[in-house]
């Protein structure tokens, strides 16, 4: 393996900390799965550009906000192709029940010459009474059939051409696992289903272990979110957290370049400086990474 246990997934640190927290960043089971085999005809997709709703609105999104944001961003950055509708468009696990019409939104974006991207966390659902997150076991046929059905609707009916799959570390935390054989298989099977069924769809992975994603996703996040929208109003805390996120990205962008033969490396987004609170120097560093990347999204 080219990746170490300490660089297990998108959000993992580069060095072994004394306290392994949050635990999602560290593989909880023994890693024994063999590397993916390079498929014939494999190639890296070209550079994509777009904008992402998460960093402007968090979960508070509507069709009007999405279209308005797309209109403003395209006016400033006419080169963008995708509008990524991030978390907030549905309740986790109810992937066929949007809070507003993704199909209508996609049609509105299409009139502007834009394509629609959609975020989902396929291995999670929320359960009452406190909307706790529960891991979905895709080894059960009905769960797998449901997500396949949702993906069919999302792509074929709603017109989505980019998928951002998030929190993909989840299956490694299913109870009773001894090693990564089952979760590795669940991830690779999901990626293969999407790639084989919908080769035109751009597949982004986030919070994802690197090994099962090799050759099977078009791009993978190599760091955590560059900014946290819920902290925009909290000056000192925002600066502290965002500085940490910025430094992590800078370090991982350099260290993960050996993975660029398997998928395009995703540095997240180029944020709005006023919202993020980054210094001019920090923004310059982010802009340099942004121009090097094949995944160029504005936040």
In a domain, 1, yes or no: no
Strand residues in 46-93 grouped as ranges (E): 48-52, 82-85
Length of the chain: 299
Helix segments in 165-215, DSSP class H: 181-197, 210-213
* 130 CB-near residues (< 8 Å, 6+ apart): none
- Residue 6: pLDDT band (50, 70, 90) is low
Backbone angles phi, psi at 161, to 5 degrees: -120, 5
Q: What is the pLDDT of residues 176-223, one digit of tens each?
A: 999 999 999 999 999 999 999 999 999 999 999 999 999 999 999 999
What's 75's domain CATH number? 3.20.20.70
If pLDDT is split at 50, 70 and 90, which confidence band does 297 have? very high
Establish if 39 belongs to a structural domain. Answer: no
11: in domain: no
Q: Which of 137, 134, 124, 127 is nearest to 177 (CA)?
A: 137
50 contacts 117 by C-beta, under 8 angstroms = yes
**34 belongs to a structural domain:** no
> Cα separations (Å) of 192 from 6, 189, 196, 197?
26, 5, 6, 8
Helix residue ranges, H only, 125-180? 141-152
Residue 29 in any domain: the answer is no
The 10s digit of each residue's pLDDT in 243-278 is: 999 999 999 999 999 999 999 999 999 999 999 999
CA distance 277 to 235: 8
Any domain includes 89: yes
Condensed to tens digits (0 to 9), the pLDDT of residues 50-105 reads 999 999 999 999 999 999 999 999 999 999 999 999 999 999 999 999 999 999 99
Q: Note the pTM of the prediction, 2 decimals.
A: 0.96
Report the share of the chain in percent with pLDDT over 70.
98
Q: Which domain holds residue 147?
A: 46-298
Assess contact for 29 and 179: CB atoms under 8 A: yes
Q: In sequence order, what are the residues at sequence separation of 6 or more whose Cβ sits closer than 8 angstroms to the Cβ of residue 75?
A: none
pLDDT digits (tens, 9 = 90+) for 231-242: 999 999 999 999
**Percent helix, percent strand, percent coil in the chain, to nearest 5:** 40, 15, 45
> Residue 172 pLDDT more than 60?
yes
Could you give the CA distance from residue 206 to residue 185 in angstroms, rounded to a whole number?
17
* 8 A C-beta contact, residue 107 and residue 159: yes
User: Could you tell me the two tokens for 282?
Assistant: 């920090």
Which residues sit opposite 120 in a β-bridge?
165
Q: How far apart (Å, rounded) are the C-alpha atoms in residues 83 and 49?
A: 9
Q: Does some domain include residue 110?
A: yes
The 8-class DSSP code of residue 258 comes to G
Asked if the structure places residue 37 within a domain, the reply is no
- Domain tally, the chain: 1
């Amino acid at each position: 393996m080219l990746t170490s246990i300490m660089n297990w997934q998108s959000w993992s640190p580069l060095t072994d900390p004394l306290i392994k927290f949050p635990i999602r960043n560290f593989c909880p089971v023994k890693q024994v799965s063999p590397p993916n085999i390079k498929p014939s005809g494999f190639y890296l997709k070209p550079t994509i550009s777009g904008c992402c709703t998460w960093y402007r609105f968090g979960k508070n999104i509507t069709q009007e906000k999405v279209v308005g944001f797309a209109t403003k961003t395209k006016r400033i950055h006419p080169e963008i192709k995708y509008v990524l509708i991030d978390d907030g468009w549905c309740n986790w696990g109810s992937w066929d029940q949007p809070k507003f019409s993704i199909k209508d939104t996609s049609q509105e974006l299409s009139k502007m010459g834009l394509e629609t991207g959609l975020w989902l966390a396929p291995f999670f659902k929320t359960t009452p009474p406190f909307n706790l997150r529960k891991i979905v076991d895709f080894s059960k046929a009905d769960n797998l059939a449901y997500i396949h059905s949702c993906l069919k609707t999302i792509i074929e009916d709603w017109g989505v051409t980019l998928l951002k799959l998030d929190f993909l570390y989840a299956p490694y935390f299913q109870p009773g696992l001894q090693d990564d054989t089952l979760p590795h298989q669940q991830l690779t099977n999901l990626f293969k289903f999407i790639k084989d069924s919908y080769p035109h769809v751009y597949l982004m992975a986030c919070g994802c272990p690197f090994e099962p994603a090799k050759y099977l996703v078009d791009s993978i996040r190599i760091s955590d979110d560059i900014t946290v929208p819920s902290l925009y109003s909290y000056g000192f805390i925002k600066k502290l957290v965002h500085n940490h996120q910025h430094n992590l990205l800078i370090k991982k962008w350099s260290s993960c370049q050996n993975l660029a033969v398997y998928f395009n490396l995703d540095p997240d987004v180029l944020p709005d400086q006023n919202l993020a609170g980054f210094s001019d120097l920090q923004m310059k560093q982010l802009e340099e990474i942004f121009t090097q990347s094949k995944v160029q999204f504005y936040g």
